[in-house]
Structure 1
Amino acid sequence: MVSRPGFNPNLFVNGISSKDWQTINDNPFDPMSNKVISGEYPPGSTFKIVTGSAALETGKVTPQEMIFDSGKHWLIPMGNSEGEALGWINFHKALAASDNVYFYEMGNRVGIDVLKKYAALFGFGKTTGIDLFGENEGIIASPDYKMKVFDEDWYLGDTFNAAIGQGFNLATPIQLAVMLSAVANNGDIYKPHLVDKIVNDDGSVVKEIKPEKIGRLPVSAETLELLQSALKAVAQEGGTAAQMANLSVPVAGKTGTAENPHGKDHGLFVGYAPADNPNLVVVAVIDQGGFGSVSAAPIVQRIFEYVFPPKQPAIVNTQKKQ
């Protein structure tokens, strides 16, 4: 777990000076905040996992249905980030390519109330229960929230934004990690913990923290299989994180680029590996990092490369027998 910028805890050992305290407090990026559990960011395209699941599970789309992406949606002229038009695409292609137009239509079909329901079932809008102080809940976009905070009506464009993880949606990195780990675990949701056991100085175990299942994703085995396949395609040739295609183990994941009203876009990548037998989930959120494929994905890639290094070729003894 890493949160940047950080601070030197040794400054507090003998009482921090007023100068050092002022330096920490003047930092606009709030180094005293653990952004993994308290930082709230638009989840961006990582939220398409939720939107797609809602559409599939409610029968608003089938995996085989082809939807035409002309670059912009036909009801509201909202489109892909750089105007791309992918033509006829199905769910698998849309998620792997992170197509906005397709998921605008999914939001249009399911509606904001169903989208809000599935977001909550995927763990958004509430704390994960991690054993740390200061965890934030995030926000699930809804007409009630907009009316309460801004005293404004809800429009279809708001639903479109919510469907791709923009607008009023906010999530913490730990929420994204729990969501993706549930997909990797075939639907089982586990409570996150920092340690697996506490030991005395003599090595005896004081307490063992066992995995704690706290729920299941509201999706069928067929939907999970489709999600896993599409997320694996993200990190293959033609996906938005194709640079991971040559790692020593297959990776599954999702890029995200979240609009930021206060500056540059935030970059996100959520991934797990090995894709076919996962034991590691990594989430990177880069504050004002720009495109997730450029800022966040390379960081996750380096972690996977460290944990799963390339296999060394076997040394073959070619010396002739005497």
Structure 2
Amino acid sequence: MIDKTISVLALASCLLATPALAQSVNLYTTREPALLNPVLEAFTKDTGIKVNAVFLKDGLQQRVQAEGANSPADVMLVVDVGEINAAADAGITQPVKSAVVDKTVPAALRGSGDSWVTLTQRARVVVVSKDRVKQDAISYDELADPKWKGKFCIRAGQHPYNNAFFAAYLARNGAEKTETYLKALKANAARKPGGGDRDVARDIQSGLCDIAIINTYYIGLMSQATNEQKGWYEAIKPLKTSFTGGGTHVNVSAAAIAKNAPNRDNAVKLIEYMLGEKAQTLYADGNFEFPVNPDVKEAAAVKLLGALTPDTLPLGDVAKNRKAASELVDKVGFDN
């Protein structure tokens, strides 16, 4: 069984003080324990390798840097491309050298020099009123069409979900076009950008807006709700969404091997296991995320929303443009 962390500090101290076991691997992660534990328990059962998991709310990169060469961290697992790319840029990762990774994960979903690897994907897609909008597909550019004036809802532009989306748009289209795009979205807004992704579904149900943008896993979670959110889900229709001439924008959960990993071989084994069909199904279904392994056809998100065609823009390029995208959001007063 997996050691469930009661005190992060206590476990980290224990790991620092205890020599690494031959059949163990130390995981630092910002993911929720409930999402990861089923996969980690299956890994231990199938491989005999014990997982020492340290669950952190934030500050993962800073902790590994502070621990330095004596850090017990083998694998770092986070939920945002910006965060994992920052870890690579900080020099606290090492290349993930694996034939399984090379075969399973497209280059666009890996860091430069294989410094990190995507495990699951979540798409940011357009949803519309099931009753008032009659179309099945849309490009992100179409959100700027004046026909949506007073009908578009979105959470804050500085929220990480939208920051990553705007960074992808910027990487594809340049600053001038992105600034124009942001101004058009703001002009189309039915209300001040804010709230959460589920709130835009609520606002579609109420008639405040007809069209919005949302992360796919919220659609899945609302589909299983037993409260008012089930009605929000039933009021919306997700559209096949893509960049003009490209695919759907995704963010990811991703893993990297720590630079000073004491159990590097087991770190590789854990990452490879998490890319296998069994683990991909367990992991992806826990939060309605899309598996990165193309052989997994029966994931809950795929059944509910259809197959995902992720954009081929390297996610490393998205991460590099996040600061500039944030500055453009402020420049146009998007959240004002």
Q: TM-score, normalised by structure 2?
A: 0.27
TM-score (norm 1): 0.28
Q: Which has the higher contact order (CA 8 A, sep 6+)?
A: 2
Q: Which has the higher strand share?
A: 2
Report the structure number with the largest CA radius of gyration: 1
